[in-house]
Structure 1
Amino acid sequence: MNSEITSSDLDLLRKGFTENPVHRLVQNAVTQTSIDDLALDREIVVRTDHSVSHLLDDWKATNQKNSGRCWLFAGLNLLRVGAMKAMNLKAFEFSQNHLMFWDKFERANYFLEAIIDTADRDGDDRTVAFLLEGVANDGGQWNMFAALVKKHGLVPKAAMPETQSSSSTGRMNDVLRRALRQGARDLRALASAGTEAQRQRKQEILEIAYRILCIHLGTPPETFVWQWTDKDREFHRDGELTPLEFAEKYVTIPLDDYVCLVHDPRPSSLAGRTFTVDRLGNVVGGAPVVYLNVDVPLMKRLAMETIVAGEAVWFGCDVGKMMRRDIGIWDAKLYDLEPIYGVPFDLDKADRLTYHDTAMTHAMLFTGVDVMDGQPRRWRVENSWGDKDADQGFYTMNDSWFDEYVFEIAVRRDLLPEELRSALDAEPIVLPAWDPMGALARAH
């Protein structure tokens, strides 16, 4: 075949397709039926149920609705377990809107500082273009979540409830992006005037960003009165608290002790080393996003041991691959596509990262594990997509899917082997801003 597609090439393709009865049969089926319905492996579905040997959740699933706040929901879902126990409540949610407000505002400042830092580069510089393209997205990482809690605290959902824009962020994000990109133009134009002039203009841009966020999300409370009736019908009142005081009282796990383990099998990524992604973060002055690259068996073992010990596990994955939302199942071979298309889909995990066929797209919480002969065979997952699908919003992940599509977990530092704890102190390798290991923070 030459560089140009000729009519002879097309004749051969048409003839090859038409003369194959399997191709025609599949065409007849797929033009009338969803490919997912046709390719769904019934044997996997039949042998997968939602039961697990170690189950933590006895609460309702949350709903991020039409937003990319999965990482915040997963983090707050982890923290609310201890809060419910401390307050003797059957149901409780921290305000996801509160943390999103401060993430958006802090990230506006983070973006503007990055624009100031790169103001001497050309507008088509790849890093500058990346910054301008990704401004005001909803996604984030574990370290970014922890930085927000540490700086801005937490409030109960009643103190800063959801709004139309927190549940459907698209229009708000459009307005915020427009204001910040306009601000970026101004800051770059002031490069010759110096940093002080740029930061004076930055303050004015941040005032605009704050105003936009207040209009869409409401104004975050400085203080609030917290009182509740517990599940034994006993009344309690804490009185007036700040968000930081509320977090100090009801966050029962040591956030500073958690580290992020990732599995990045690309040949260029070194096992046992820490790395970060350039320009990945939200709070200027906060702890950087740092990963420790380990193998999957270690990630599984630590996640399993954490769950068995009674604590859920925050994790990041490529959620849309090989999953069925209505029945709530993930399995590495859930859809048998190869015989339908006559194509061997044989990219491994490293190739999928290299060739942009996979990335972290969603964060959730492991709330159960099914252990047999000391090994995990399936995982129970608390999602943040409401309670209409799966087992009332709790999904089942067969262990094969963990191997292929789970990239990150957050666990306590003291669970790591000694040599890996020591590795955490090494200066992290810096990956470029557009590397796929930063993709979770770019979710819309």
Structure 2
Amino acid sequence: MADSKLTKQDFDAMREQYAKNKRANVIQRSIIQNGINNTAKDNTVPAKLNRSFSVEVDTGKVTDQKRSGRCWLFALLNTLRHDFAKRYDVKDFELSQSYLFFWDKIERANIFFDNIIATAGKPVDDREVRTYLDGPGSDGGEWTMAVALVQKYGVMPTYAFPESKVTDDTSDLNDVLDLTMRRDAKILRDMVNGDASDDEINHKRDELLREIFKIAGYACGVPRETFNLEYRDDKKKYHLDQDITPKEFFDKYFEIDLDDYVVIENAPNKKFKQNYINPASDNVVGGRHVGFLNMPMDVLKKAAINQLKDGETVWFANTVTTQSDRKNGILDADLYHYDQLFNIDMDMTKGQKYEYLDSISNHAMTLTGVDLVDDKPTKWKVENSWGAKVGEKGYFVMADNWMDAYVDEVIVNKKYLTDEQRQLLDQQPIVLKPWE
């Protein structure tokens, strides 16, 4: 391979080619004055995305995750609260995200210690070990992780365990937990690789877990064991159910069976009609494994549409930071024409974007409507969890082409799959590598 050191000759050649571009100065001035996105933006897109939908679930005010990575919890609890609202006629009843967030910190530390002990014999720079050490205090997550928490701990209203300064902005807590748990990892690895007995290791492990509980308790408060369910419905009727546990509340008031819901993925870089699991991503020991059934996009759309038609919202994961206008709440794959602006071929398939880390699922939201023209979807109504000041009172509109390009998975009741598709759920899953 030739020497790749940049020289003055290289720079001169670059400048010469740049100077030959007659559009260069105009484009340069426009971008410097307006920024890349404003210059590349297709202003015809909003006109195509009016906010009328042929199928729409009646929902209320949006929630706000603020400066936190808890979208996965917000999206599941939005799904549950919509079910509660419809069943008990109380539209804007909100469930506590902080409650599940607290228990996720404890459970995630617990399973982290298991993984660290199990891999203690591997070098610290082993790829699996590095995966566990990469953000152990993170607050990001997936549907299955949220389900595992709800099934173990139940849910409670926001008023019974409200948001705090820390849950509104989780960055400081995540940093503290990262530091603490990486230190804990060194302690446990040293003990396993030294002369410590299993009893000594387990005793230290319990001690370290109690420290994580203390940190989470100081930062978020410790959830109460029981609470009073108290609310006035939309018909002004008062309701009171005293001294119930969060688990009793979920089991008594929510008829939704979370085991009936499945993760349908669209990952073109992997084999379709195949089950996959990634136990390394689990957050609760003994909970369901994080995983998915990989299917073509038309399967995801059809199942989501049928669930919406039956009046039920749909949790979905996506790459929200790409081709999106946060302020106006617009998601369209043709929103920004970077290729035209810079006259560079930027084309990659969805599968290639996954493989080269150009597209990484980084957000979860809720589908609440779809517009069907000749029985085909043209755009979707999206409930976000970024508060009411973005989009239209917090709701986004998503072009169908954006769903094709940037939606990774939907969560649907398995009854919306065909018999053949349901049979795929019983196949032996492929176990993904921890870093996949």
Q: CA RMSD in A?
A: 1.2
Moved more, 96-105 or 413-422: 413-422
Distance 1:181 1:90 in 2: 43
Distance 1:207 1:40 in 2: 51
Structure 1: where are the runs of 5+ without partners? 436-444
Taking the TM superposition and a 5 Å limit, the aligned residue runs for 1:389-408 are 389-408=390-409
Distance 2:164 2:394 in 1: 22
Distance 2:91 2:75 in 1: 18
Distance 1:22 1:245 in 2: 67
Distance 1:296 1:159 in 2: 40
Does residue 232 of structure 2 align to residue 229 of structure 1?
Answer: yes
CA contact (8 A) 1:82 1:250 kept: no
Give 1:282 shift: 0.4
Moved more, 251-260 or 160-169: 251-260
Residue 219 of structure 1 is matched in structure 2 by 222
Residue 294 of structure 1 is matched in structure 2 by 295
Taking the TM superposition and a 5 Å limit, the aligned residue runs for 1:221-300 are 221-266=224-269, 269-300=270-301
Residue 381 of structure 2 is matched in structure 1 by 380
CA contact (8 A) 2:104 2:283 kept: yes
Structure 2: where are the runs of 5+ without partners? none
Identity rate of aligned residues, in percent? 39
For each residue in 1:241-284, what CA deviation from the matched residue of structure 2 results, as whole angstroms up to 9, or x when unmatched?
00101111222311110110001101xx2111101124111000
Residue 173 of structure 1 is matched in structure 2 by 174
Moved more, 11-20 or 160-169: 11-20
Moved more, 292-301 or 276-285: 276-285
Distance 2:275 2:54 in 1: 34
| Structure 1 counterpart of 2:263, one-letter code | C
For each residue in 1:175-207, what CA deviation from the matched residue of structure 2 results, as whole angstroms up to 9, or x when unmatched?
122221111111111114344332211100110
Residue 86 of structure 1 is matched in structure 2 by 87
| Structure 1 counterpart of 2:96, one-letter code | S
CA contact (8 A) 2:95 2:155 kept: yes
Moved more, 74-83 or 172-181: 172-181
| Structure 2 counterpart of 1:90, one-letter code | K
Does residue 197 of structure 2 align to residue 200 of structure 1?
Answer: no
Match of 1:183, SS state, is helix
Runs of 4+ that moved beyond 6 A? none
Match of 1:279, SS state, is helix
Does residue 429 of structure 2 align to residue 428 of structure 1?
Answer: yes
Match of 1:332, SS state, is coil
| Structure 2 counterpart of 1:107, one-letter code | R
Give 1:36 shift: 1.1
| Structure 1 counterpart of 2:205, one-letter code | K
Give 1:68 shift: 0.1
Distance 1:58 1:292 in 2: 29
Distance 2:152 2:279 in 1: 22
Distance 2:355 2:86 in 1: 44
CA contact (8 A) 1:84 1:90 kept: yes
Match of 2:423, SS state, is helix
Distance 2:48 2:421 in 1: 37
TM value normalised by structure 2: 0.97
Distance 1:166 1:250 in 2: 26
Residue 441 of structure 1 is matched in structure 2 by none
| Structure 1 counterpart of 2:409, one-letter code | E
Residue 98 of structure 2 is matched in structure 1 by 97
